Structures are given as structure tokens and as C-alpha cells.
């Protein structure tokens, strides 16, 4: 049970990092000179936090790879697609259309089938 919670926590970390990066790049003006863009990126709090969380997620992923078969573990990563879509909808007012909703359901069913294997 602990390992399942660690898998879900790693997925949560990965998705949280993506949402923080999305928030951070929304504050960067990509129409300025490359040096200024670079400085904006490395000094952005949200991007810094997103990258830091990615590092934590990577360390946890490496541990999980040592505990599970890749063919079992990797499909769980697709849950990030679901959380990212829901996070985009909740935090950034992005739309989830019918096709995306159907895709989310298919991903969820696939992960459930893999988990039962």
C-alpha cells in the first residue's frame, strides 16, 4: 500500500511541477532579447519551484523504478495527463471538451487495467 501511495505522490509532484511552470512562463515576456528571457526564467519563483519539484519527482521516480517493473509503473504516469487537464481547468480556466473528457476516461480505464495486472 505504501508503494501505491508513493506512485500517486510522484504523479502529484510531477503534475504540480507542470502547473507551476505554466504559471511561471505566463509571467515571462518571450518577445525580448534572449538574455533577458533567460534572466526572467531563472529569477521566476514559480519556475524555480516547478524545477525543484521536478527534481524531487525524479528522485522518487528512480526509487520507484527500483521497486517495480517498468511495464507496470510507466502507465501510471499517464494519470498526470488527467491531473494536468483538471489543473488547467481549475487554475487557468482552460476548457475540457467532450473529446478530452473521453480521453481522460480511457486513460483512467487503462490505468485501472494495468493496476489490476
- How does residue 2 score in pLDDT terms, banded at 50, 70 and 90? confident
Q: What was the pLDDT predicted at 76?
A: 87
DSSP 8-state assignment for residue 68: S
Q: What was the pLDDT predicted at 44?
A: 97
Q: How many domains does the chain have?
A: 1
| Enclosing domain of residue 86 | 2-115
Q: What's the average model confidence in pLDDT over 34-55? A: 96
Q: What was the pLDDT predicted at 114?
A: 85
Taking the CA atoms of residue 75, residue 79, residue 81 and residue 87 in that order, the dihedral angle to the nearest 10 degrees is -170
Cell numbers found for residue 85: 487537464
Sequential DSSP letters for 80-117: HHHHHHHHHHHHH-----HHHHHHHHHHHHHHHHHHT-
- How does residue 3 score in pLDDT terms, banded at 50, 70 and 90? confident
Length in residues, the chain: 117
pLDDT at 11 over 90: yes
Q: What was the pLDDT predicted at 39?
A: 94
Amino acid at each position: 500500500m505504501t508503494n501505491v501511495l508513493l506512485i500517486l505522490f510522484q504523479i502529484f509532484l510531477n503534475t504540480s511541477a507542470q502547473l507551476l511552470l505554466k504559471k511561471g512562463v505566463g509571467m515571462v515576456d518571450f518577445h525580448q532579447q534572449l538574455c533577458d528571457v533567460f534572466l526572467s526564467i531563472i529569477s521566476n519563483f514559480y519556475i524555480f519551484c516547478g524545477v525543484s519539484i521536478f527534481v524531487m519527482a525524479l528522485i522518487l521516480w528512480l526509487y520507484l523504478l527500483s521497486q517495480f517493473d517498468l511495464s507496470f509503473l510507466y502507465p501510471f504516469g499517464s494519470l498526470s495527463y488527467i491531473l494536468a487537464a483538471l489543473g488547467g481547468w481549475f487554475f487557468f480556466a482552460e476548457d475540457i471538451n467532450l473529446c478530452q473528457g473521453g480521453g481522460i476516461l480511457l486513460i483512467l480505464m487503462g490505468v485501472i487495467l494495468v493496476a489490476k495486472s
